């Protein structure tokens, strides 16, 4: 019997139904929007003001992931009523975390009260949005969840475009636009959830605070490790140095960061669906080859494109030496390589190994922080390499733990089970 003709449009529609593909595309577009917003602000704002905005943005991103206290994971793991109680709980925890971070930031860094207020609003909005994203992920409404997840990148891009038009001279105005835009996404997400909750019939059981706090611990550790440079530079160097570092990471570091975020989307389900140890090894070897190749391609692209963007887009306002770009590339490659090991442990690790993984993350944070303060004597380059020691520890220790997880006899059974059941043993 002859084969039916291939329908390209049908193949494209079928491919787009893949959650992994849609997530990868959304991450790429979101990362591009985030980078463009940063570059627009770097072009318009004075260096010190752009450094002040970058510091506020780094703390806001930490606060957004921490604010719900793990509620974004809870709604993914359990059928939870997306009603007033969940929204009130999310607003309360996110607001308290935002207030604590605003007070601490005001005590440690030269940020004025209006900018701190904008940070508080942005963290509260982002925390509420994160739980809405988790709710729609649990219902497998991937298109809506990915759209909501892109809100921070789109809000930053909006702030950048508005700044290009009105040319503000302080960090407050783009921060205010950014915070205001962040409220659009959770407002729509929760309105839609409230409208559909009667049809869902989800229960409203007692909230598992212990489970949520365990989840937020590991999430916060990863975010803090990724933000150490931005937290240390204003104290050890200066705000203009932070502005230079933000431009550096936008141009030279973002490809590796996006690759790190995307590693788990394909690797986790592939390892869980592997039939045996040999199949897992094949999946892992293939992923390592792909990531190494992507890192090499990213390194070449960054080395070639960065000077062009500095000259034509930023009009020569920032100067990045070859040693700075090389340091960013070297440390950047450690992030996705370590992400492979972390994904492997999350896929087949035991409850004890998942707890050890959290300990590794916080230890890497401590080592990275010490490395930053020691490396600061070498300027930005030394600081980047100092934090890189923490990323190296994370990659090496997670790799060791992953090898144990993959070699354990019962890993064959765990690999084929849903991840939620594996995590539930914790």
Tens-digit pLDDT string for the chain (426 aa): 444 454 555 544 544 444 555 565 667 777 889 999 999 999 999 999 999 999 999 999 999 989 888 777 777 667 777 778 888 989 999 999 999 999 999 999 999 999 999 999 999 999 999 988 888 877 767 677 778 888 899 999 999 999 999 999 999 999 999 999 999 999 998 898 888 776 666 766 666 766 667 667 777 788 888 899 999 999 999 999 999 999 999 999 888 888 887 776 556 656 766 677 777 788 788 888 888 888 899 999 999 999 999 988 898 899 999 999 999 999 999 998 888 888 788 777 776 887 788 889 899 999 999 999 999 999 999 999 999 999 999 999 999 998 887 776 655 544 444 434 433 443
Nearest to 224 by CA among 34, 368, 68: 368
What pLDDT does residue 387 have?
96
Q: How far, in Å, CA of 27 to CA of 72, rounded?
A: 18
Q: How far, in Å, CA of 37 to CA of 320, rounded?
A: 19
Q: Look up the pTM and report it.
A: 0.83
What pLDDT does residue 14 have?
46
Nearest to 40 by CA among 223, 185, 184, 177: 177
What pLDDT does residue 274 have?
67
- Using CB atoms within 10 A of its CB, is residue 426 exposed (0-12), middle (13-18) or buried (19+)? middle
What pLDDT does residue 268 have?
62
What pLDDT does residue 77 have?
66
What pLDDT does residue 100 have?
96
Q: How far, in Å, CA of 379 to CA of 68, rounded?
A: 36
C-alpha 208: how far from chain center:
24
What pLDDT does residue 267 have?
67
| N-term to C-term CA, the chain | 53
**In contact, 55 and 234? CB cutoff 8 Å:** yes
Give the tokens for residue 320: 């990045």
């Amino acid at each position: 019997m002859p084969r039916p003709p291939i329908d390209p449009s049908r193949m494209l529609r079928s491919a787009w139904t893949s959650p992994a593909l849609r997530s990868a595309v959304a991450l790429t577009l979101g990362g591009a929007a985030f980078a463009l917003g940063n570059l627009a602000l770097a072009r318009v704002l004075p260096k010190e003001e752009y450094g002040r905005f970058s510091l506020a943005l780094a703390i806001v991103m930490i606060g957004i992931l921490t604010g719900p206290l793990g509620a974004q994971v809870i709604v993914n793991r359990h059928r939870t009523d997306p009603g007033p109680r969940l929204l009130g709980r999310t607003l309360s925890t996110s607001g308290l975390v935002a207030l604590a971070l605003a007070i601490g930031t005001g005590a440690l860094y030269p940020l004025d009260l209006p900018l701190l207020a904008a940070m508080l609003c942005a963290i509260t909005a982002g925390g509420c949005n994160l739980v809405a994203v988790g709710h729609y992920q649990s219902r497998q409404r991937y298109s809506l969840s990915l759209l909501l997840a892109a809100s921070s990148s789109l809000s930053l891009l909006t702030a950048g475009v508005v700044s290009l038009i009105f040319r503000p001279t302080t960090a407050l105005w783009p921060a205010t636009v950014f915070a205001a835009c962040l409220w659009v996404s959770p407002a729509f997400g929760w309105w839609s959830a409230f409208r559909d909750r009667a049809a869902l019939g989800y229960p409203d059981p007692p909230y598992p605070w212990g489970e949520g706090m365990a989840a937020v611990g590991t999430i916060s550790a990863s975010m803090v490790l990724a933000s150490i440079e931005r937290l240390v530079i204003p104290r050890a160097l200066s705000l203009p140095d932070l502005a230079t570092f933000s431009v550096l990471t936008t141009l030279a570091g973002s490809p590796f960061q996006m690759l790190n975020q995307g590693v788990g989307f394909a690797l986790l389900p592939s390892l869980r669906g592997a039939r045996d140890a040999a199949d897992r090894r094949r999946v892992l070897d293939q992923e390592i080859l792909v990531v190494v190749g992507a890192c090499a391609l990213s390194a070449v692209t960054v080395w070639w494109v960065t000077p062009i963007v500095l000259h034509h887009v930023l009009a020569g306002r920032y100067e990045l030496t070859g040693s700075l770009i090389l340091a960013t590339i070297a440390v950047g490659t450690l992030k996705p390589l370590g992400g492979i090991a972390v994904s492997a442990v999350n896929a087949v690790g035991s409850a004890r190994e998942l707890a050890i993984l959290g300990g590794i993350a916080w230890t890497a944070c401590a080592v990275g922080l010490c490395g930053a303060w020691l490396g600061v004597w070498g300027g930005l380059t030394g600081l980047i390499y100092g934090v890189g020691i923490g990323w190296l520890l994370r990659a090496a220790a997670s790799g060791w733990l992953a090898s144990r997880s993959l070699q354990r006899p019962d890993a064959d059974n765990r690999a084929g089970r849903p991840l939620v059941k594996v995590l539930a043993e914790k």
